[in-house]
Amino acid sequence: MKQQDVPRHIATPLVNPAYPPVVPRFTDREYLNIVYRTDPEALRAVVPEPLEIDEPLVRFEVMRMGDVTGYGPYTEAGQAVEVRYEGERGEYLHAMYLDNFPATASGREAAAYPKTVGAPALYADHGALVGVLDYGTLGVARATMGYKHYELDPEEARAQIAVPTYMLKLVPGFDGAPQVAQLVRTEITDVEVKGAWTGPARLQLFEHVLAPMADLPVREVVSASHILTDLTLAPAKPVHDYLAR
C-alpha cells in the first residue's frame, strides 16, 4: 500500500475496519429514561471541570436501536449527568455499555463517547417496561416503568433527548502521556418523535468493580419516560482543551 493511500482508511484493520464509513441514521430508537437524584459529592468526584453541577441529577437510560445505518440493531445503556457549560444546560455522558462492537469502536475512536462492552436489554414484561444491564454474568442495573401509562407531550420528549451532550476525548501517546485531552460537545439532530409516554418507575443499581454505576447511588426517582424516535447524531466538536497552555 502506498503512503498516500494510508490516510484514506478510517480505521484498522485496513482490510476490514472496525466500523463502517457512514454517518448513522437511527430509526425506531426506543428509550427508557429514569432521572434520579444522587449524592452531590459522588458527582463532583467524576464530572470534569469546567462543567458545572446545579442539582445532583442523573439520567439512567436504556436505548434499543431498532435499525442503525451501518450497524444494524443493538442495545445500549448508560448514565448521563445534568450539567452546565458557559451557561448552557446539557448532559455529561458518564458511561455507556453496548452489545455491538462496531458501534462501540466508532463511538470511542471517531467521536468521544465513553463506550465499553456490556449486555443491556429493553423489553416489556407483564405490564412493565424493563431495562436491564448485565456485565458478564452479573446484574448491574434493573429499571422498571409502567408501560405506556400516560402520554408525554412530543415537544417535552424531544427536549429530554436533544439537549447538548458533553464528553471527554482522551488519547494517550505511546509514552503514556496525554496526546489529546479535550471536552467535546455534540447533540442530536433531525429528531422525529413517534411516541412518548411517562409513568411510575423504579431503579436498582448493583455494585460491580468494572461497571460502577452504583457509585452514583439512587436517592430518589424524579421522573421517567419511554420514547420512540428517529434521529441523527451530529459530529462532536471540541469546546475545551485541557492541554492548552
C-alpha distances (whole Å) from 173 to each of 89, 176, 178, 180 are 33, 5, 6, 8
- What phi and psi values does residue 102 have, to the nearest 5 degrees? -55, -40
Annotated catalytic residue, options 2, 115, 194, 237: 115
| DSSP H helical ranges for 66-223 | 101-109, 154-161
Q: Using alpha carbons only, what angle is made at residue 226 by residues 208 and 207, rounded to the nearest 5 degrees? A: 10
Quote helix, strand, coil % in the chain, to nearest 5.
15, 55, 35
Is 115 considered catalytic here? yes
* HEC profile of 143-186: EEEECCCEECCHHHHHHHHCCCEEEEEEEECCCCCEEEEEEEEE
Stretch (H or E) spanning 214? none
Give the gyration radius of the chain's Cα atoms: 18
Which residues have a catalytic role annotated?
115
